[in-house]
């Protein structure tokens, strides 16, 4: 899979599965394992690096770090910090290139999003200009539990319906390892935007009211690694965008269930620090995302 990913300092079309050796099989069914994770409200750390590459302008990208809690029908809550990175070409042409220089500068800083209890909160230099004095958070409105987590990575492997659809499109399944000789299984395949849209509530939420028709046939090349308990370890995705752009995302998940469970709650910001929408001094800026770039460029 061709990659031009801005990777992290800390981490780095068939419809049936191919036949594999017996020792490549997972100990449990991945979808059943995911449902058990959701039922136990497991906390998962995430580190993600992504790039939007162009044949003329090179690659620029984003890094997301944080934690999310499983629950409900998948991701129940998330607390994610996103930083944007640019290459020297983009920096040299920041004021005369095809982008909003002020927004790019604001997104280079650490911007944090929390989605919990059906609400989405935003904080950071991108949102600070519209916050009243004494407030460091903006209530962005009602949203689902995974809204802080997705937008760059567009495949939510913590939705049972999405995980099932992804594995159905796998064209390769091979034994692998992680850590110190721990067993894993590596799946690879291709799924279209249309297939993902039909299977994934998260992807439908990301596309919003925009017509899928212009990009429905777009192919997402993906690679998913699951440990021997059926839990997601890494997800690598890429898709072509019109006019010479390519999106590439590498996401690493850690539940740290050994030697003891990883426990972490996701909480809403202190109410005293949150500005309600009616008290903002202007429209709340929308963060950039790779899926938005897909629609605007395509």
Q: Where are the alpha helices (DSSP H) in the chain?
A: 30-39, 88-92, 101-108, 160-168, 193-199, 201-207, 290-297
Tell me the per-residue pLDDT of 134-183, one tens digit each, with 9 for 90 and over. Answer: 999 999 999 999 999 999 999 999 999 999 999 999 999 999 988 777 89
pLDDT of 44 above 80? yes
Q: How much is the CA Rg of the chain, to the nearest whole Å? A: 19
Residue ranges of domains in the chain? 22-297
pLDDT of 241 above 50? yes
Other C-beta atoms lying within 10 Å of the C-beta of residue 112: 19
What is the per-residue pLDDT for 235?
98
Tell me the per-residue pLDDT of 246-295, one tens digit each, with 9 for 90 and over. Answer: 899 999 998 765 555 667 889 999 999 999 999 999 999 998 888 887 87
Prediction pTM value? 0.85
User: What is the C-alpha to C-alpha distance for residues 5 and 20, in angstroms, rounded to an integer?
Assistant: 30
pLDDT of 127 above 90? yes
Q: Which two tokens stand for residue 48?
A: 């993600």
Residue from 171, 173, 211 nearest 194 by CA: 211
């Amino acid at each position: 899979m061709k990659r031009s990913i801005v990777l992290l300092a800390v981490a780095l079309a068939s419809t049936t599965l191919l036949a594999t050796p017996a020792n490549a099989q997972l100990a449990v069914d991945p979808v059943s394992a995911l449902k058990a994770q959701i039922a136990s409200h497991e906390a998962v750390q995430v580190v993600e690096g992504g790039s939007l590459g162009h044949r003329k302008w090179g690659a620029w990208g984003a890094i997301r770090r944080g934690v999310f809690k499983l629950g409900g029908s998948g991701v129940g809550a998330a607390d994610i910090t996103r930083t944007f990175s640019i290459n020297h070409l983009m920096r040299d042409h920041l004021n005369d290139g095809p982008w909003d220089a002020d927004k790019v500068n604001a997104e280079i800083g650490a911007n944090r999003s929390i989605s919990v209890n059906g609400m989405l909160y935003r904080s950071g230099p991108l949102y600070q200009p519209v916050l009243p004095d004494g407030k460091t958070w903006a209530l962005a409105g009602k949203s689902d539990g995974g809204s802080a987590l997705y937008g760059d990575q567009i495949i939510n492997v913590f939705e049972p319906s999405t995980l099932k659809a992804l594995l159905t499109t796998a064209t390769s399944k091979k034994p692998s390892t992680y850590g110190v000789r721990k067993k894993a299984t590596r799946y690879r395949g291709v799924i279209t935007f249309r297939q993902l849209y039909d299977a994934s509530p998260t992807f439908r939420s990301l596309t919003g009211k925009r017509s899928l028709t212009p990009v429905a046939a777009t192919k997402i090349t993906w690679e998913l690694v699951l440990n021997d308990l059926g839990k997601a370890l890494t997800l690598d995705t890429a898709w072509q965008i019109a006019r010479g752009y390519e999106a590439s995302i590498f996401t690493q998940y850690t539940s740290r269930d050994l030697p003891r469970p990883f426990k972490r709650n996701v909480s809403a910001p202190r109410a005293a620090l949150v500005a309600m929408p009616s008290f903002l001094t202007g429209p709340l800026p929308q963060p950039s995302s790779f899926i938005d770039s897909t629609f605007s460029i395509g």
